[in-house]
Amino acid sequence: MGILETLFEQHFRTPALQTQPLQGELSGSGRRIVRIVGAATTAIGILYEVREENAAFLEFSRHFRRHRLPVPEIYAEDLSAGAYLEEDLGDTTLFEFLATHRNGESIPPVVVNAYRNALTTLPRFQIEAGRDLNYKVCYPRASFDRQSIAWDLNYFKYYFLRLAGIAFNEQMLEQDFGRLTKFLLSAAHDYFLYRDFQSRNIMLRDGELFYLDYQGGRRGALQYDVASLLYDAKADLPPELRQSLLEHYLEQIDPFVVPDRDAFIEHYYGYVYVRLMQALGAYGFRGFYERKPHFLQSVPYALKNLRWLLHNVQLPVTLPTLTDAFKAMLGSEKLHNLAAVIAEPENLKGRQSNNRLLVRIYSFSFHGEGVPKDETGNGGGFVFDGRGLPNPGREERFKELTGKDQPVIDYLDQQESARQFFSHVSSLVGSSVGEYQRRGFRNLMVSFGCTGGQHRSVYLAEKLAEHLRAQNGVEVVLRHRELERMGK
Contact 79, 7 (CB under 8 A): no
For residues 200 and 302, state if they share a domain.
yes
SS (H, E, C) 251-310: HHHCCCCCCCHHHHHHHHHHHHHHHHHHHHHHHHHHHHHCCCHHHHHHHHHHHHHHHHHH
pLDDT of 355 strictly over 70: no
What is the DSSP pairing of strand 218-220 with strand 443-450?
A: unpaired
The contacts of residue 444 (CB under 8 Å, 6+ apart) are: 357, 358, 359, 360, 378, 381, 429, 432, 433, 436
Please give the pLDDT value at position 257.
84
pLDDT of 375 strictly over 70: no
Q: How confident is the model over 193-206, as pLDDT tens digits? A: 999 999 999 999 99
Please give the pLDDT value at position 1.
56
For residues 220 and 117, state if they share a domain.
yes
Which of 34, 66, 86 lies at the terminal end of a domain, its last residue? 86
Looking at residue 131, its amino acid is: R
Q: Mean per-residue pLDDT for 304-327?
A: 95
Structural domain tally of the chain? 3
Which of 86, 110, 142 lies at the terminal end of a domain, its last residue? 86
Q: How confident is the model over 56-71, as pLDDT tens digits? A: 999 999 999 999 999 9
Q: What average pLDDT does the structure give for the chain?
A: 90
Contact 47, 82 (CB under 8 A): yes
User: By 3-state DSSP, what share of the chain in percent is helix, strand and coil, each rounded to 5?
Assistant: 55, 15, 30
Half-sphere exposure of 471 (CA within 13 A, CB side): 20
Residue predicted with more confidence, 338 or 11? 11
For residues 223 and 104, state if they share a domain.
yes
Of 330-334, 346-350, 368-372, minimum mean pLDDT range: 346-350
For residues 185 and 283, state if they share a domain.
yes
| Burial readout 93-114 (b: 16 or more C-beta within 10 A, e: otherwise) | bbbebbbeebeeeebeeebbeb
Q: Mean per-residue pLDDT for 481-487?
A: 80
Q: How confident is the model over 105-151, as pLDDT tens digits? A: 789 999 999 999 999 999 999 999 999 999 999 999 999 999 999 99
For residues 33 and 143, state if they share a domain.
no
Please give the pLDDT value at position 200.
94
CB atoms within 10 A of CB 189: 19
For residues 199 and 285, state if they share a domain.
yes
For residues 369 and 469, state if they share a domain.
yes
Q: How confident is the model over 34-43, as pLDDT tens digits? A: 999 999 999 9
Domain at 257, CATH number: 3.90.1200.10
pLDDT of 327 strictly over 80: yes
For residues 215 and 288, state if they share a domain.
yes
For residues 130 and 153, state if they share a domain.
yes
Question: CA 239, 244, 245, 249 torsion: positive or negative?
Answer: positive
pLDDT of 244 strictly over 90: yes
CB atoms within 10 A of CB 41: 13
For residues 465 and 431, state if they share a domain.
yes
Per DSSP, what are the bridge partners of residue 85? Answer: 45, 76
pTM (2 d.p.): 0.73
| Burial readout 428-443 (b: 16 or more C-beta within 10 A, e: otherwise) | ebeebbeebbeeeeeb
User: What domain range is 255 assigned to?
Assistant: 94-339
Q: Could you give the C-alpha distances from 211 to 35, 77, 101, 186, 343, in angstroms and in order?
A: 17, 19, 21, 29, 27
Please give the pLDDT value at position 337.
65
Please give the pLDDT value at position 22.
85
Please give the pLDDT value at position 308.
94
Q: Give which of 225, 235, 157 is closest to 192, Cα–Cα.
A: 225
Contact 4, 44 (CB under 8 A): no
Please give the pLDDT value at position 377.
63
Residue predicted with more confidence, 340 or 249? 249
Looking at residue 218, its amino acid is: R
3-state secondary structure of 101: helix
Please give the pLDDT value at position 263.
85
For residues 138 and 276, state if they share a domain.
yes
Q: At what angle do helices 299-312 and 320-330 cross, to 10 degrees?
A: 130
Q: How far apart are CA 433 and CA 411, in angstroms?
A: 29
Which of 307, 339, 371 lies at the terminal end of a domain, its last residue? 339
Domain at 72, CATH number: 3.30.200
Q: Could you give the C-alpha distances from 465 to 127, 300, 459, 481, 487, in angstroms and in order?
A: 49, 18, 10, 15, 21
Q: Could you give the C-alpha distances from 7 to 10, 63, 90, in angstroms and in order?
A: 5, 22, 20
pLDDT band (50, 70, 90) for residue 250? very high
Q: Where is 450: in which H helix or E strand?
A: strand 443-450
For residues 225 and 327, state if they share a domain.
yes
Please give the pLDDT value at position 161.
96
Q: How far apart are CA 252 and CA 262, in angstroms?
A: 16
Contact 118, 202 (CB under 8 A): yes
Q: How far apart are CA 83 and CA 6, in angstroms?
A: 10
pLDDT over 90 for what percent of the chain?
73
